[in-house]
Amino acid sequence: MPGPGRSVSAGTDLADQDAPVADRSLTEEILARGRVTDPGSPPAGEPPWAGSRWEAPRWPGGRRLGAVAVGVATVLAVAVPLLAVADIALPGRAVLAVAFLLAVPGVPIAVALRLPDGRVTAVLAVALSVAATELSASIALVIDSWDPGRSAVLLGVLGVAAAVPAALALRAPEASATPEASATPEAPAGSDERAGSGRRFRLAALLVVAGGVLFWFAATRTVDLPAAGRLGLFPVLPWTFWLAVVLISVTVAVALLRPAVDHVVVGAGVVATVLVLSGVVNVAGGAGSMGAGWVQVGFIDVISHTGALADGIDARFSWPGFLGGSAQVVDWAGLSDAGPLTVLAPVFFGVLLIPPVWLIARIVTGSARLAWLGVLLHQLFNWYGQDYFSAQATAWVLAVSVVAVLFWAFAAAPAPAPVARHAAVRWLAAVRRIPGRPAGMTPGRTVLVELTLMVVVTAVVVGHQLTPVTLTGLLLWFALTGCTRWRTLWLTAGVITVGWFSYGATDFWFGHLQTVLGDLGQVGDVVSGGLTDRLSGDAVYQGMQGVRMAWTGLLGVLAVAGWWAIRRRRDAVLLAGLAAAPFGLILLQSYGGEMLIRCALYSSVFLAPLAAIAVARAGLAVTRAAPAGRTGVRTALLATVLVLAAFGLTVTRGLNVSFERVSDTHIRVVQQLMATVPDGAWVGTFGRMGTLPLGRVGTVTVEPLFSASCGVDSTACVLDAVGADGGDGPDWVVAAATAEAAGRLQGGRPAGWVGAGVAALLATGGYETVVTDPEIVVLRRVASGQSVGSGTDRGPDGADGTAVGD
């Protein structure tokens, strides 16, 4: 990183300003830059930006890239509203709608802000576009003026209007560029040969990554998901899956350790890693794997058909940002429901997190290479499964984007003056400190960025219950450590959160006030609900749950080691506080026994870059004793680490596949059932059925046939629930194969417990089979007086389209 007065060559990534020689390790390169002693350089152990200021890389053609982005956004701003209003059936309309969601109006607005770093512009553009969609939907629902086509037109007009100042900004000179930095440097000897070699490597590497994706897709066609048991997914995966993992991991390792990082290859490899590891279950099953995601689909369907929130029915309608925004996207895409959006949702959210996580890691590690490694580690330890189609996943992308912008603003600001060495004095100075404006930013643009962040924060508040609390705490820590000039942003977030909770979320706190207040300060109950209560059921499954916890613990240990290595940096307190802040949520509530999972999820964004530092230092320690030609050793070592980490993620993330999956057959049967049952019907289920009710919120009662506390003798519970002749039971009964697996692994029930319960229902004479399929069985109560047709099992044909009812 150049200090004051040192120039930056155009087209060079600053993290790799001094290209490493062949026998120099990644960590040696980074540490060497920390040891230089010329004036203006950072002291030992500091990141490259600590001694002066963050400077944005200036790639040739950057303006052309911005112009293309604005042009595409402008075309989308015109085309998608026209398609939505006219309801024109067009191939690829859904893809255009998703592109509109990500680009309009955020891209032209962010470009018009003339931020000196294009990477920050990209992060802010996507966050602002998603926030605008959620806020427009929320406003329409609150004022009872639902019209997705009109919302698309308004957003499109805003995008087109912002394209004008964006075009002017692209024509303006670089405010932060110095003559030396702007000048085109003389090409060094041999640069053409190296460029040709780089192009050949890029082509070959991208072909290998593409080949890995093809092998992965072949694996999704042959994997036997129903065969997954207590060990989860990894025993049923074919060899083609692991070949895909090896090909992609080796390619990323080679690209990361080349003398000059090829960001295109590494980026493609990271995206492929997200696809392979988080998309296999959904793509193989043909549907979103999490039942909770299908609950969201049903809620969205209610909004799409009624144009209103189902007040008094479910508290989740108190946070309409995601639900309303998704309903708008469904309309813009010309889809019948949001079901298709669930399939690639984990991949979608994983990819959206790459830019902000990379930006955070780039600043924390001081290296573009380690930033990519931090992104990989963030993904490879993400077993929590919270990236399904949900409000939380969307809100977290927006929250991380806000934090990434604050990291950039702090890193790009002039370094603060040194203070006394006494700890108390340093702390007071930090609390009172107001960092300068980021390099190249005017006062007006700095205020505009803050206003833009407020818009994104507001979208987080109206979109999810828990994420705004976490974001407020993170923003507060930035202010307390003096690492942001936007010192009241946390207060704004807190006021908006309290205001919305008081006004928009009355259904929640009216119905759950006792639950919310009852959990306050109950740390022991929250921890036991997230740890010890999960270690129940099948003994092998319990052991695998322990593996999951150990996997998160490993990330924490690596992060602590990485933090210890940079503990003398002036931002060390900031990083430690950001990583620890999410765990303060355990003081508030148990969140259904899943608060610890949420804490680990939120903290992982900050743990992963620190873990990347530890991994790099460990690699340095191992390879120091290697022979002179140790590049191959380092590459093999890194590739091995990535493959093993991918295996660890597959084991931990895929543990619950036997019951956390939804097949396309299951969805077809449930949708058909929900289209058949009359209003007021009672549908009983074996265990929790997250896919019910699709679009029938408030009109159909869906609940488990018996309570979870009835013990392992489920047959007796079934008979107690329905009566001797079945006349006291629900009108319909749904029994899925996933309920069988959940009860066996988590509840310790015997194998075949669902089949025994179904047989007991049929033996009462009060029920008759309507659908029989290996994935799902549906019964209807004969005592209701309704005609049940022939009364014969319909088999797979019933699951594939035969009418469920009359």
Residue 43 in any domain: the answer is: no
Angle CA(515)–CA(519)–CA(521) in degrees, nearest 5? 155
Write down the pLDDT at residue 50: 38
- The answer to whether residues 580 and 502 belong to one domain is yes
- The answer to whether residues 643 and 711 belong to one domain is no
Q: Comparing 512 with 367, which gets the higher pLDDT? A: 367
State percent of the chain over pLDDT 70: 78
Beta bridge partners of 23: none
- Under the banding of pLDDT at 50, 70 and 90, the label for residue 204 is very high
Residue 292 in any domain: the answer is: no
- Under the banding of pLDDT at 50, 70 and 90, the label for residue 425 is low
Residue 340, CB half-sphere, CA atoms under 13 Å: how many? 12
- The answer to whether residues 620 and 632 belong to one domain is no
Domain boundary residue, one of 575, 609, 624: 624
Containing structural domain, residue 649 = 202-286+628-659
Tokens of 284: 């193989």
Residue 212 in any domain: the answer is: yes
Residue 503 in any domain: the answer is: yes
Residue 167 in any domain: the answer is: no
Tokens of 229: 């048991």
Contact present, 1 and 17 (Cβ < 8 Å): yes
Express each pLDDT in 570-583 by its tens digit. Answer: 788 899 999 999 98
* Average per-residue pLDDT for the chain: 81
- The answer to whether residues 501 and 614 belong to one domain is yes
Express each pLDDT in 279-333 by its tens digit. Answer: 999 999 888 888 888 889 989 999 999 999 887 777 788 889 999 999 999 999 9
- The answer to whether residues 620 and 653 belong to one domain is no
Q: How many CB atoms lie within 10 A of CB 200?
A: 10
Average pLDDT over residues 241-263: 93
Q: What is the largest CA-CA distance in the chain?
A: 91
d(CA 448, CA 424): 34
Angle CA(151)–CA(156)–CA(389) in degrees, nearest 5? 60
Write down the pLDDT at residue 53: 39
Domain boundary residue, one of 624, 644, 679: 624
Do the bridges between strand 767-772 and strand 776-781 make them parallel or antiparallel, or are there none, so unpaired? antiparallel
Q: Is the dihedral of CA 732, 733, 736, 742 positive or negative?
A: positive
Write down the pLDDT at residue 626: 57
One-letter amino acid for residue 442 of the chain: T
- The answer to whether residues 256 and 358 belong to one domain is no
C-alpha to C-alpha distances, 803 to 301, 667, 806, nearest whole angstrom: 21, 14, 7
- The answer to whether residues 569 and 641 belong to one domain is no
Residue 522 per-residue DSSP state: -
Write down the pLDDT at residue 181: 37
Residue 562 in any domain: the answer is: yes
- The answer to whether residues 424 and 469 belong to one domain is yes
d(CA 226, CA 236): 9
- The answer to whether residues 507 and 641 belong to one domain is no
- The answer to whether residues 614 and 638 belong to one domain is no
pLDDT of 54 over the 90 cut: no
Residue 308 contacts by C-beta under 8 Å, 6 or more apart in sequence? 141, 144, 146
Write down the pLDDT at residue 48: 39
Express each pLDDT in 368-387 by its tens digit. Answer: 999 999 999 999 999 998 99
Number of domains in the chain: 3
- The answer to whether residues 355 and 406 belong to one domain is yes
Domain boundary residue, one of 575, 602, 624: 624
Strand order in the sheet with 701-704: 701-704, 682-685, 732-736, 776-781, 767-772
Beta bridge partners of 771: 778
pLDDT of 525 over the 80 cut: no
Which of 369-383, 487-501, 514-528, 742-756 is least confident?
514-528
Write down the pLDDT at residue 612: 95
Residue 331 in any domain: the answer is: no
Which of 27-36, 68-77, 124-133, 515-524 is least confident?
27-36
Contact present, 481 and 430 (Cβ < 8 Å): yes
Do the bridges between strand 701-704 and strand 682-685 make them parallel or antiparallel, or are there none, so unpaired? parallel
Residue 1 in any domain: the answer is: no
- The answer to whether residues 597 and 722 belong to one domain is no
Write down the pLDDT at residue 26: 40
Residue 435 contacts by C-beta under 8 Å, 6 or more apart in sequence? 409, 410, 413, 414, 416, 482, 483, 484, 485
C-alpha to C-alpha distances, 329 to 159, 325, 332, nearest whole angstrom: 17, 6, 5
